[in-house]
Amino acid sequence: MADLATQPAATTSAETAATPDLLARFLNVRDLSRAWSALLSAEDQMVQSCSEASPVKWHLAHTTWFFDTFLLREFQPAYQAFNSDFIWLFNSYYKALGDHPEKSLRASFSRPSLEQVLDYRTFVNQNISALLQTLDTFPPKTAREITSRIEIGLHHEQQHQELIATDIKHALFTNPLHPNLRPLPGIPPAPHKHAADWISFPSGLASFGHAPDGDSAFAFDNESPRHLQYVAEFELASSLVTVRDYLAFINDGGYTKSNLWLSDGWDTITAEGWQAPLYWRKAGNGHAAEWEIFTLHGFLPLADLLDTPVCHVSYYEAEAYARWCGHRLPTEFEWESAAAAHFDANCAGFLTPHSLKFGFLHPTAHASLFGGVWQWTQSAYLPYPGYQPLAGALGEYNGKFMSGQMILRGGSLVTPSGHIRATYRNFFQPQTRWQFSGIRLARDPAGVSSNPETSRPRT
């Protein structure tokens, strides 16, 4: 299979001078999806191993469909589509665009072949490039709409790049042979061990959400409007909860004590038989030393991962763990307060997707708010005051999912570089575990829970 090192640098030729940055970025983002694909066989890219996941080939096609549908069919004069069936075949959930296949059918898409899908990608890339190069022939308002939609399309594709990573991880794990994506490249990186500190934040009324003139030019609609929230004094842990920490919870019977769990959480772990995070298994006779954790390098001994952040936990598990500690999860506004204060300093350490090429495909613990693992908050995914979805079918992108889900903040090892910001609102249902989701603790200033029965020092 192709190595990511061989992928061409993004084109920055003279023809794209009009919007060189956007075109370069477009090609760069598009190349990364293709690089993921190159790590896998066509057969690998057919697997859909759980109801949340999609085949990699589908991700490649759907992200292309996005540009096809929302850009080329609307703005490209005399556009001849690559394949007229693809408009409905690769629609994910946009009901305003008409019928679309049920998600579960994606595993039956042996046709079009991977080769055809890659041709589709090339075709759309060429047409978007052409569109960008003729951008000055459009009225200014239209040109702005075009670049705005391309921006959305790129961020959309970056979201799917993360899903490619999580979905193929699940696919490889589901295969009874448990193959790895690539062998372990030498010794795992030494953990960045940090003492667990509590960082204090004062109370106050502050603005949250995307500032149009802020650091990040782009934001999804659900990050707006910027608005005031009052946040009381709180403390946030300087590092993520580790495998070592979480193992203590398991060994203390955390999964057997109903008083630690939300009612829905208890029902879930009972019905599903969960006794550890997703991807953990016990080899041998059950000693802690014999846990193994499935990574993109295959199963590794837990003992080698003790100081990496615990990962692939549901909201229920994150919340129960926090209660066991006598602490709690942060709200999304607490998290964003901290991120706003610390963004510059810590982002230096963020693992870029170049780690995909060289690095260790399992999160490492470090002090950054970003990277590593997504962090469950105790905030439900709800609209900000005054929220308005985008007009038209794109309004279905985020708004219609605002029930039954919880907010995660931060980013993960497999979140593409450039797809990260302090106001980003990730969201999943509370039982979801196949994402790279972990835990950062918060607490109230007194530092200990007022309920002596559940309070205990965090180790």
Name the minimum Å distance from CB 350 to a copy of itself: 30
Per CB under 8 A, contacts with a copy of itself among 312-341 are 315-316, 319, 331
Q: Find the binder of a copy of itself among 8, 51, 77, 111 (CB under 8 A).
A: 111
Distance (Å, rounded) from C-alpha 434 to C-alpha 430?
12
203 or 275, CB closer to a copy of itself?
203
Q: Which two tokens stand for residue 232?
A: 């009381």
Q: Find the binder of a copy of itself among 389, 417, 418, 458 (CB under 8 A).
A: 389
Q: Counting contacts by CB under 8 A, is residue 451 touching a copy of itself? A: yes
Q: Find the binder of a copy of itself among 277, 309, 410, 430 (CB under 8 A).
A: 430
Q: Is 186 left (phi over 0), alpha (psi -120 to 50) or beta?
A: left
Q: Find the binder of a copy of itself among 36, 67, 70, 261 (CB under 8 A).
A: 261
76 or 83, CB closer to a copy of itself?
83
26 or 321, CB closer to a copy of itself?
321
Contact window for a copy of itself (CB under 8 A) among 27-35, 146-154, 167-175, 289-297? 167-175
- In DSSP notation, 171-210 reads HHHHSTT---SS---SSPPPP------EEEE--EEEEES-
> Does residue 112 have a cis bond before it (omega within 30 degrees)?
yes
Distance (Å, rounded) from C-alpha 400 to C-alpha 301?
41
CA distances to 256, 309, 318 from 437, rounded to whole Å, are: 22, 10, 9
Q: Counting contacts by CB under 8 A, is residue 259 touching a copy of itself? A: yes
Q: Find the binder of a copy of itself among 80, 141, 453, 457 (CB under 8 A).
A: 453
Name the minimum Å distance from CB 24 to a copy of itself: 33
Q: Find the binder of a copy of itself among 287, 450, 457, 459 (CB under 8 A).
A: 450
| 98 Cβ contact list (under 8 Å, min separation 6) | 88, 91
69, 100 Cβ separation under 8 angstroms: no
Distance (Å, rounded) from C-alpha 326 to C-alpha 452?
9
Name the minimum Å distance from CB 259 to a copy of itself: 6
Any bridge partners for residue 237, and if so which?
198
CA distances to 64, 166, 317, 350 from 295, rounded to whole Å, are: 28, 10, 20, 20
Name the minimum Å distance from CB 410 to a copy of itself: 20
| 300 Cβ contact list (under 8 Å, min separation 6) | 184, 188, 292, 293, 362
Q: Counting contacts by CB under 8 A, is residue 383 touching a copy of itself? A: yes
| 13 Cβ contact list (under 8 Å, min separation 6) | none
* C-beta atoms surrounding 153 within 10 Å: 24
Per CB under 8 A, contacts with a copy of itself among 55-94 are 57, 85, 88-89, 93
φ, ψ dihedrals at 341, nearest 5°? -75, -30
Q: Counting contacts by CB under 8 A, is residue 298 touching a copy of itself? A: no
Name the minimum Å distance from CB 43 to a copy of itself: 4
Name the minimum Å distance from CB 177 to a copy of itself: 6
Q: Counting contacts by CB under 8 A, is residue 382 touching a copy of itself? A: yes
Q: Counting contacts by CB under 8 A, is residue 404 touching a copy of itself? A: yes
Angle of the 243-251 helix axis to the 315-325 helix axis, nearest 10 = 80
Name the minimum Å distance from CB 234 to a copy of itself: 8
187 or 263, CB closer to a copy of itself?
263
Q: Which two tokens stand for residue 300?
A: 């590794």
Q: How would you list the strands of the sheet with 291-295, edge to edge?
A: 280-282, 291-295, 298-301
DSSP letter (8 states) at residue 441:
-
Residue type, 335: W
Q: Find the binder of a copy of itself among 136, 230, 251, 286 (CB under 8 A).
A: 230
177 or 190, CB closer to a copy of itself?
177
Q: Counting contacts by CB under 8 A, is residue 212 touching a copy of itself? A: no
Q: Find the binder of a copy of itself among 24, 87, 107, 250 (CB under 8 A).
A: 107
Q: Counting contacts by CB under 8 A, is residue 459 touching a copy of itself? A: no
313, 277 Cβ separation under 8 angstroms: yes
Name the minimum Å distance from CB 258 to a copy of itself: 4
Q: Counting contacts by CB under 8 A, is residue 44 touching a copy of itself? A: yes
Q: Find the binder of a copy of itself among 78, 177, 187, 195 (CB under 8 A).
A: 177
Q: Counting contacts by CB under 8 A, is residue 378 touching a copy of itself? A: yes
Per CB under 8 A, contacts with a copy of itself among 122-161 are none
177 or 348, CB closer to a copy of itself?
177
Q: Find the binder of a copy of itself among 2, 400, 447, 448 (CB under 8 A).
A: 400
